[in-house]
């Protein structure tokens, strides 16, 4: 529910109680028509206005509408939170994909252009590998490259 509509509903619920004292209408010395709940001075000609009719909606219906609008607003807030979470997860996946692509490219470069038959292991040590193992690692690195790198 828009703030304007909410204000209208609340005002319409409170209006009858505030208008029981009556509304007065008079024209001041400048010719301006004035409406007020406070009666004008005694020497000014005034007219007492009838109270407005009650609002067309019952109080229970008005609160029901307000509660529905609050639920809608809460649902929209939940959707925004879910979207923000999905966006951050997407950004994390993109970052992981970029990192894996870089690893694949570096591995391919090391395996293709290095004439040595030594590779660096995860713990930082050098290890000698056979030509077959080198080819297997190269195939895996190319698969990783095709999976994670944009072509």
What pLDDT, in 10s, does the model give residues 29-77?
888 888 888 888 777 887 877 777 777 888 888 899 999 999 999 999 9
- Cβ count near 9 (within 10 Å): 19
pLDDT confidence band for 98 (50 / 70 / 90): very high
* Cβ(25)–Cβ(35) below 8 Å: yes
pTM for this one? 0.46
Question: Average pLDDT for residues 74-84, to the nearest whole number?
Answer: 94
Under 8 Å CB-to-CB from 117, ≥6 apart: which residues?
Answer: 128, 129, 130, 131, 134
pLDDT of residue 19: 46
Degrees to nearest 5, angle at CA 77 with 93 and 91: 10
Lowest mean per-residue pLDDT among 2-16, 37-51, 118-132? 2-16
Rounded CA-CA distance 81/74 in Å is 11
Q: Kindly report the average pLDDT of the chain as a whole number.
A: 82
Q: Is the pLDDT of residue 106 over 80?
A: yes
H/E element, 69: helix 59-113
Q: Is the pLDDT of residue 119 over 60?
A: yes
Rounded CA-CA distance 52/31 in Å is 25
pLDDT of residue 8: 66
């Amino acid at each position: 529910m828009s703030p304007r509509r909410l204000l209208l509903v609340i005002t319409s619920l409170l209006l009858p109680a505030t208008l029981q004292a009556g509304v007065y209408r008079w024209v001041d010395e400048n010719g301006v028509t004035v409406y007020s709940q406070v009666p004008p001075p005694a020497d000014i000609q005034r007219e007492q206005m009838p109270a407005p009719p009650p609002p067309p909606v019952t109080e229970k219906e008005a609160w029901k509408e307000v509660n529905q609008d609050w639920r809608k607003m809460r649902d929209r807030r939940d959707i925004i939170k879910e979207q923000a979470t999905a966006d951050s997860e997407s950004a994390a996946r993109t970052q992981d994909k970029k990192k894996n692509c870089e690893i694949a490219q570096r591995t391919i470069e090391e395996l293709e252009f290095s004439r040595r038959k030594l590779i660096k292991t995860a713990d930082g040590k050098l290890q000698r590998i056979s030509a077959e193992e080198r080819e297997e690692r190269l195939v895996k690195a190319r698969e990783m490259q095709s999976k994670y790198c944009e072509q």
